[in-house]
Structure 1
Amino acid sequence: MAHPDLQNLQPGQLLARGTARLLFTYGFASLEELVPTRGLRVDVTGLGPKGDIWIIECKSSRADFQSDQKWEGYLPWCDRFFWAVDADFPVDLLPPDTGLIIGDAYGAEIIRMGPQDRLAPARRKNVIQTFATTAARRLHDLRDPDRATLRD
């Protein structure tokens, strides 16, 4: 039987959960749906113990992958880029010069390490600050869900 909290999640969200678990084993903190810049929304962003930034796009089907026109726009915002897919995904569709993670809601495994392209220091600082601010706001929202009314 599926975990009750998982029953309402979409396939991509289940992949994101398993990917976040994988990143945790590498010492990374992760956030789902981070916006590094206007017009981009990353499925999973990992912040490593040495400041590495990994971006992971979760694709649940061939159609999901083929409809994604923005993934190359994520490359300037990370040190490594990965696709996360399930075991039934046709991986031959994915560009061979990108990272590959295979997983499900309970875990994942890196099949192919994404090539490293180190961010410039100013860009890294920007992404880390966005990551930290987003994480802090989400934590505050959990602790004080009514705080949004303070802005009115």
Structure 2
Amino acid sequence: MSKMIKPDLSAPVDGRQSERALEIQRGTGRLLRRHGFVSLPEVTLKSGRRADLLAINTKGEIWIVEIKSSLADFRADKKWPDYWDFCDRLFFATNQETPEEIFPEEAGLIIADAHGAEIIRDVEQRKLAAARRKALTLRFAQIAASRLHAIHDPGVPTHIEPAKL
């Protein structure tokens, strides 16, 4: 009888994020779960922008969370308004050390660490068009399934993801 090999279920790390950003991501993911969302990190959108976290709940509501681990990180990225075309709500997530007042009022604000997070400022929902919502929901499912498949079958190239939507 052959011995069963237990798959490595740890999350893949692509090396682009700092340790601080990964801690914010983890705590924010826990917050999203408490609010009934599941999330995927590093999702490329049709615009070519990459959402730090794309989250969806059972009602189909889609949130994007842009992680900023420092003042310099925030200042380096001014393209955040582009995310509004791909979500119902847009949030920044940061840590206690980053000044809250730098973040624009047009987006929500989450303060996080490796253990959890809190929504400090909520943001009004902007409804996505039905066709965009469907496309994003399908993309979310395809990416999640593709990543899960790569965990269970490590021989599959991990760079293969469905076409951008």
Correspondence for 2:132 among 115, 119, 123 = 123
| Aligned counterpart in structure 2 of residue 133 of structure 1, from 138, 142, 145 | 142
Structure 2 CA distance, aligned partners of 1:146 and 1:68? Answer: 35
* Residue identity (%): 46
The reply to whether residue 27 of structure 1 matches residue 27 of structure 2 is no
**Which residue number in structure 1 is paired with residue 4 of structure 2?**
none
* Residue of structure 2 in register with 1:15 after alignment: 24
Residue in 2 that maps onto 1:50 = 59
**How far off its partner does 1:9 sit?**
5.6
Preserved contact between residue 80 and residue 115 of structure 1 (Cα < 8 Å): yes
Q: In the TM superposition, what are the counterparts of 1:2-151 in structure 2 within 5 Å?
A: 10-148=19-157
Alpha-carbon offset, residue 97 of structure 1: 2.3
Q: Partner of 2:32: helix, strand, or coil?
A: helix
State the Cα RMSD in Å. Answer: 1.9
Which SS does the other structure have where 1:60 is aligned? coil
Distance 2:155 2:102 in 1: 44
How many Å separate the matches in 1 of 2:152 and 2:98? 38
Q: TM-score, with normalisation over the residues of structure 2?
A: 0.82
| Partner deviation per Cα, 1:12-71 (whole Å, 9 max, x = no partner) | 111111101110111111000011214110001110120000000010100000001221
Deviations 1:99-130 (A, max 9, x none): 01001111100111122100000000011111
> Structure 1: 5+ residue runs without aligned partners?
none
The answer for unaligned runs of 5 or more in structure 2 is 1-10, 12-16, 161-165
- Contact 1:55-1:74 within 8 A present in 2 as well: yes
- TM-score computed with the length of structure 1 as normaliser: 0.89
Separation in structure 1 between the aligned mates of residue 18 and residue 105 of structure 2, nearest angstrom: 29
Superposition misfits of 4+ residues, deviation over 3 angstroms: none
Question: Partner amino acid for 1:109?
Answer: E
> Does the 8 A contact of 1:15 with 1:58 survive in 2?
yes
